Chain A
Amino acid sequence: MRQNQNQQIALPSVADMGALVVTGITTFAKKHKVISSGYVFGILFLLLVGSGTKLTYDQSKQYDSIMNSIDLNAEFEASNRYAQASQAYRATKGWFSCDSLCQRNKSRMQQTQRVLDEIRNEGYARMSDAKSVAGIFSEVGVDEVKESFWQYFGAGKAFAKKQSMWDMM
């Protein structure tokens, strides 16, 4: 029985645990100055930038007018044409061969793809112009970055959950 008593590990009290955590964090911060200053800077940046600067009336008007100039219908039609041409090419091509009909469909598909890419690039360029009016530190820019972060963060969590489920099976 005395042996069992000797084998017991005395857990530190809650107050001691708190002190232990604080000491650990302080030691880490002193040892890794770049990481800890990056951490503090990141939190300060988050607090300062917040949800970004609000767009002025003129900025908002200009931003909307440039965004509205993007021809979504043209992109939709070009996308449809490309899908049809691609379908026709895939229907006529063989496993390892492409006859004259297939070659014609292939060139049509490439042409519709070029048109679609041009329309898309034009759209991206106009979107970029509209964004430049707003600015990266504006609510539009900050919102886009935030949305991107939450998307990747959610994907990371989903990966962890799925992997943990596999591990438990």
Chain B
Amino acid sequence: MHDQIITPDLVAQHNLTDEEYQAIVAVLGRAPNLTELGMFSVMWSEHCSYKSSRAFLKKLPTEGPCVVQGPGENAGVVDIGDGLVAVFKMESHNHPSFIEPYQGAATGVGGILRDIFTMGARPIALLNSLRFGSLDNPKNRYLFKGVVSGIAGYGNCMGVPTVGGEVYCNDIYNHNPLVNAFCLGIARKDKIFLGRAAGVGNPVLYIGAKTGRDGIHGATMASDSFDEGSESKRPTVQVGDPFMEKLLMEACLELMEQDVLIGIQDMGAAGLTSSSCEMASRAGTGIELELADVPRRESGMTPYDLLLSESQERMLLVAKPGREGTVLDICKKWDVDAAVVGHVTGDGFLRVKDKGVVVAEVPARALADDAPKYERPAAAPSYQDHLQSLPLDVIPEPTDCNAVLDQLLASPTIAHKGWVFEQYDHMVQTNTMVRPGSDAAVIRIKGTDKALAMTTDCNSLYCLLNPYLGAGIAVAEAARNLVCSGAKPLALTDCLNFGNPERPDIMWQFILAVEGIVDACKALNIPVVSGNVSFYNETKGLSIYPTPTIGMVGLIEQADRALSQGFKAEGDVIVLLGETGEDLGGTEYLRVVHHREQGTPPMLNLDREVALQALVVQAIEQGLVQSAHDCSEGGLAVTLAECCLSAPAGPLAASSRLLGADVTLDAKGLRRDSLLFGESQSRIVVSVKSESLDVIRSFAAHWQVPFVVLGVVGGPNLTISLHDDKGRATTWVDRSCRDLDILWRGAIRAIMESGDRPR
């Protein structure tokens, strides 16, 4: 082995603490060489090891009747019947996307796709959850545009439709945008592949793109905060080649049709090092690699470079003995590089040779699983009380509610996202039943009568104000979105984006958010099957709001019963299921109109939520509902407006009309802004044919869900009148749908095409 002096400086440059270094020395029984130090630094990074979060993630419920594979593999797997499984996961690519938005986002999509097809599933849908600072700032527009193009560039070429997601804008993400990518694939239940290097002597093969020097220490970079020099880290961002990945995917799926593979894993963060040590660790074996056989695209690469490179579009696989020829043949058909680079051993070591000389020799398990685990100190921040206080008497009730509605519909968080999803091929594979822009995307499953609904959700302002409640609401809202499309929620994946875990206030946010997810999952009976934690989302000491994004998947037994959010026909009766309270804390209304990010988020009563969702699933299954839309950001007025304006967007809509609505609310002593723009939880607006009204009313009574007839669909305008306690009605909202549509549909496009260049 090479003799290198490992100095404290070198250890610090590798983002390892002195204690961690001593732990490495203890594991090895000697000092590591530079290559080994590099391997430990990436595998023991926060990004790869979950060293600050593991202790808490254990509390997440991961079992359920549909769960085939929970967390710990490349992705989670749930049974959807007919001998099929859905394989899905969500992952962050935040840091690279800030440094280089196009490639950062593109490789985020590439990485999550590999996680899915590695398991033997053909990817059928992508979603993404994006967060940026205000689009008034040219730098944020540059980032937004780059990220959207990157997602489009990769997903479109792969032929996997991007069918949904979310975009939130808040200045807290100015220097740390979030890019969370979700992918779902379908596999046969008896053909799931795992990342296990079993069978001593079996050949280890490398397939895919050649290795270059790109992305070295990407995982370490993702485990650090940002400062002035972050843009100089651009070389740590990988460069994606979706065409190569398309070939790799087809080659892998064809290989999986043959009986040749023992295990397979993609080379994501920490590349060759992570794939080899994790596969060996899971199987309780070792792996010996010969670096001279690794395909490479440049000369002069050291073992350190080869082991830490995060070049994209690569896979490591273990073949059945004697079947490596079939692997090489199929790769040749697809013009994909492939080489035998080692074999499985029984001694538990990841042993790396370069032309026969051992250059690294590390216990695989220590590298993959024995990173130190931390229970870091946690404490509520001193500013929390101030954040949660909201004296309503200082908030004047709006006198021009039309203007408030306009303002909210044009807020990028609420505005129509056509500018985004029209750049994504959201129809390829011909399964998209409900297109982007509704509560959930709906994808039919060919060869069955079924469809899957999927969504991503998180209101991070709620999570700032009350991490427990905010995270619980993210789970409840995701489930509610699925239910609105007619689906029963099956399982979720989470992508937990937080600041620096070494800060007690951030750890406090994290712990409470996880508890919020745990309790909501238990109440709604939804297990967590995969996930990802992204810490250190902090720039110059300013942390993002806690953003535990939830990606959830639900099953629709009868695909033709799937529903979209837009009103369908004049004369349908509009009903609010659920109850409106004085819930203005943390609302988009308060943020956009009164410039306050304050208060307590709306309360979440999980029993009520369960009843509401059961009611709506039942009503949709029986074909009684024409449209269903969850009440979220912007409250009831925005929800109603979106129902009016969404009629043409979904292919399920019969025609391309805008459908107005005439609505009357009983004030019940509530403030006008709470009634119109408050964000009380557990509410769904449905439209029903008048002949179905009584049946739904009786269902609602059975489930003890408040049931209020709001009005009827029809006319060119959205009008909302409030009845005061003396029975007098006053019209507070009266806007033509045509005007609202122009505003809502045009807002993001207008900002993005305003022509400013980034500073």
A, B: real partners: no
Residues of B within 8 A of A (CB): none
Residues of A that sit less than 8 Å from B by CB = none
